[in-house]
Amino acid sequence: FPTDEWWRTAVIYQIYPRSFADGNGDGIGDLPGITARLDHLAALGVDAVWLSPFYRSPQRDAGYDVADYRDVDPLFGTLADADALIARAHELGMRVVVDLVPNHTSSEHAWFRAALAAAPGSPERARYLFRDGRGEHGELPPNNWTSVFGGQAWTRVQEPSGQPGQWYLHLFDSSQPDLDWSNPEVRAELEDVLRFWLRRGVDGFRVDVAHGLVKADGLPDWAGHVAMVDGTDAGAPEDGSTPATESGPMFDQDGVHEIYRSWRAVLDEFDADGERRSRALVAEAWVEPLTRLARYVRDDEMQQAFNFSFLTSHWDAAAYRAVITASLEALDAVGAPATWVLSNHDVVRHASRFGLAVPGARPNGVFATDPQPDEALGLRRARAATLFMLALPGSAYLYQGEELGLPEHTTLPDDVREDPAYFRTQHAEAGRDGCRVPLPWAAGEPAFGFSPTGSSWLPQPAQWSTYAADAQTGVAGSTLELYREALRLRRERALGGNGLAWLDGHDADVVSFRSVATDGRDVVVLANLGSAPASLPTGAEVLLASADLPDDGMLPADVTVWLSA
């Protein structure tokens, strides 16, 4: 391993454990299943994996409701399985980032059970945000906040006496009570959790809801509601734009930064052995504008923050130029790498978003009412987007299955869905199950090789055999081979580490830049986001193209090429 700041240019692959690979045949992905498939990721050429939560949890929000941060849920395996996974990834030259969920615990966490059993005003209650209700008998919630998943952000408890009592805050599901981060005990506990996993050898943490830990003093009412990123909520900006943001007195408060400064110090304790700053924190923070997001990655805080402004960009050359420029400026100013991302387990897969007729396809769609996406167009654009993303300076995150070109499952029946956000909003809001369908590994096997028994916690569409990893391996032009080749060239030429120079003289619908290589072998990137063919420069060698190029020397619509400079 190089001991330097690997995360600056890393390509990091998100594993969603319940849907990656099932080792024991119960239809739910697990840690041994992942370990057995790590070769796929090494062959793909990624630098690191990030695993969504696998801690002990009642799984009310697919593991983002943690009951014990120091244990593995039996659904996924054991601590020994986690150790084996980390060791195997390291053997294969890949770093391991784990997910930390510090904003809330599960309502089945020992702390919350103790809080329920204790009296109002007790130290047990003081780890969470319990408040008396408003109204004559405390029958109204303490303020007007709504949950990101829909409905009130407060739930009333029954006191041990049997009487209706206090309320507790939950920005997400009622099974996810928010911790009180002004409590030193909370701070000490989560720092200790960091040390627990650092000692087990992890290389970093993805910090869930990093912008949410600190709430405005006094928990004031808010005129808006929690703004969902698809802009459907009353909290959407007045100009009608699509916000990549969650705003209000519950998000992006100045006090959060102090927390990450102390976490950084914890990571540095482990880096004192000479491997200076090789462990990293990445913020999941739906915060805009980018200058505001950049505050999370100052020199003594986190190293990365997901760039959701890039994820939510419209399919439009000017929009991408603007967001790329703004990202590089905001992050250069704080000395941090840009961090590109197109998909994750919370948003509609980009291969489907890009296939929606509506411009600026929403990151959270509701396919019961939306028009169905054009799958071929979506995939063509997804491949084009991947090629320009992987040539940008900085680090890139891939979400499992995008290397196979997987679309969203848009027709899941309600009775198999599990996402609480879908149910809390009476199906009016984003369902996230459609991007969480188990991966197809082998075209000819039951459950496409996801599970040895052929069972799968969500059904896979029958036509997914064409997306299966084994059906694409070694097949020229397949999405999997496109990713492999792009990652190989990126690594060979150290793209991502040396900056970008915008190129003039191309069609306004073409995103065109030079990606600077270490050894002088720069790559010219041209992405045609318009609807008509654009001209290609003559004489340049085509290194890679996201689709077959015609003989007429033109770059078709929705295609990206990498050319020799």
Three-state SS at 96? strand
Give me the count of residues in the chain: 565
- Residue closer to ligand ISL by CB (options 209, 561) is 209
Among 30, 208, 403, 558, binds ligand ISL (CB under 6 A): 208
Label residue 188 exposed, middle or buried (CB < 10 Å: 0-12, 13-18, 19+): exposed
If one asks whether residue 78 binds Ca ion (CB under 5 A), the answer comes out as no
Q: How far is the CB of 13 from ligand ISL (least distance, A)?
A: 16
Residue 288 interacts with which of ligand ISL, Ca ion, none, CB < 5 to 8 Å by class = none
Residue 106 interacts with which of Ca ion, ligand ISL, none, CB < 5 to 8 Å by class = none
Residue 26 interacts with which of Ca ion, ligand ISL, none, CB < 5 to 8 Å by class = Ca ion
Which of the stretches 20-28, 174-182, 251-259, 529-537 binds Ca ion when contact is defined by CB under 5 A? 20-28
If one asks whether residue 366 binds ligand ISL (CB under 6 A), the answer comes out as no
Residue 28 interacts with which of ligand ISL, Ca ion, none, CB < 5 to 8 Å by class = Ca ion
DSSP class of residue 554 equals E
- Residue closer to ligand ISL by CB (options 47, 346) is 346
Partners of 340 in the beta sheet? 396
If one asks whether residue 47 binds Ca ion (CB under 5 A), the answer comes out as no
Structure tokens at 188: 């000490």
Q: Taking the CA of residue 311 as centre, how many other CA atoms within 13 Å lie in the half-sphere pointing to its CB?
A: 33
What phi-psi label fits residue 530: left (phi over 0), alpha (psi between -120 and 50 degrees) or beta? beta
Measured distance CA(531)–CA(507) in Å, rounded: 12
Transcribe 371-423 into DSSP letters.
Answer: PPP-HHHHHHHHHHHHHHHTTSSSEEEEETTGGGTPPP-----GGG---HHHH
If one asks whether residue 172 binds ligand ISL (CB under 6 A), the answer comes out as yes
Measured distance CA(77)–CA(197) in Å, rounded: 16
Among 207, 209, 543, 559, binds ligand ISL (CB under 6 A): 209
If one asks whether residue 361 binds ligand ISL (CB under 6 A), the answer comes out as no
Measured distance CA(61)–CA(123) in Å, rounded: 27
By CB under 6 A, what part of segment 217-236 binds ligand ISL? 229
- Residue closer to ligand ISL by CB (options 328, 406) is 406
If one asks whether residue 528 binds ligand ISL (CB under 6 A), the answer comes out as no
CA 491 to chain centre: 23
Which of 488, 481, 442 lies closest to 465 in space, CA to CA? 442
Of 22, 180, 208, 233, which one is the catalytic site residue?
A: 208
E strands along 222-324, which residues? 280-283, 304-305
| Cα dist from 501 to 119, 335, 377, 516, whole Å | 62, 18, 29, 8
CA dihedral 230, 232, 237, 238 (to 10 degrees): 140
- Residue closer to Ca ion by CB (options 445, 509) is 445
Which of the stretches 22-30, 91-99, 402-410, 483-491 binds Ca ion when contact is defined by CB under 5 A? 22-30
If one asks whether residue 347 binds ligand ISL (CB under 6 A), the answer comes out as yes
Among 24, 182, 291, 535, binds Ca ion (CB under 5 A): 24
Dihedral pair phi/psi, residue 168, rounded to 5° = -120, 150
Which residue's structure tokens are 């959270």?
364
Among 148, 202, 297, 323, binds ligand ISL (CB under 6 A): 148
- The residue count for binding Ca ion (CB under 5 A) is 5
Q: Crossing angle, helix 184-199 and helix 256-271, to 10 degrees?
A: 30
If one asks whether residue 403 binds ligand ISL (CB under 6 A), the answer comes out as no
Q: ω into residue 461 within 30 of 0, thus cis? A: no
Three-state SS at 561? strand
Structure tokens at 544: 């890679």
Dihedral pair phi/psi, residue 192, rounded to 5° = -70, -35
Q: Are 561 and 526 in contact (CB under 8 A)?
A: yes
If one asks whether residue 407 binds ligand ISL (CB under 6 A), the answer comes out as no
Among 14, 17, 20, 30, binds Ca ion (CB under 5 A): 30
Measured distance CA(348)–CA(16) in Å, rounded: 15
Rg over alpha carbons for the chain, rounded to the nearest Å, is 23
If one asks whether residue 346 binds ligand ISL (CB under 6 A), the answer comes out as yes
Of 185, 269, 329, 492, which one is the catalytic site residue?
A: 269
208 is catalytic: yes
Please, which residues have CB within 8 angstroms of residue 332's CB and are 6 or more apart in sequence? none
Among 364, 386, 456, 478, binds ligand ISL (CB under 6 A): 364
Q: How far is the CB of 79 from Ca ion (least distance, A)?
A: 16
- The residue count for binding ligand ISL (CB under 6 A) is 16
- Residue closer to ligand ISL by CB (options 30, 418) is 418
Among 10, 38, 44, 101, binds ligand ISL (CB under 6 A): 101
If one asks whether residue 252 binds ligand ISL (CB under 6 A), the answer comes out as no
Residue 30 interacts with which of Ca ion, ligand ISL, none, CB < 5 to 8 Å by class = Ca ion
Residue 346 interacts with which of Ca ion, ligand ISL, none, CB < 5 to 8 Å by class = ligand ISL
By CB under 6 A, what part of segment 53-82 binds ligand ISL? 61, 64
- Residue closer to ligand ISL by CB (options 58, 533) is 58
By CB under 6 A, what part of segment 272-331 binds ligand ISL? 284, 286
- Residue closer to ligand ISL by CB (options 227, 297) is 227
Which of 144, 117, 139, 140 lies closest to 128 in space, CA to CA? 117
Which of the stretches 86-94, 249-257, 315-323, 341-349 binds ligand ISL when contact is defined by CB under 6 A? 341-349
Catalytic site residues?
A: 208, 269
Name the site residues for ligand ISL (rule: CB under 6 A).
61, 64, 101, 148, 172, 208-209, 229, 246, 284, 286, 345-347, 363-364
Summarize as ranges the residues that interact with Ca ion (CB under 5 A). Answer: 22, 24, 26, 28, 30
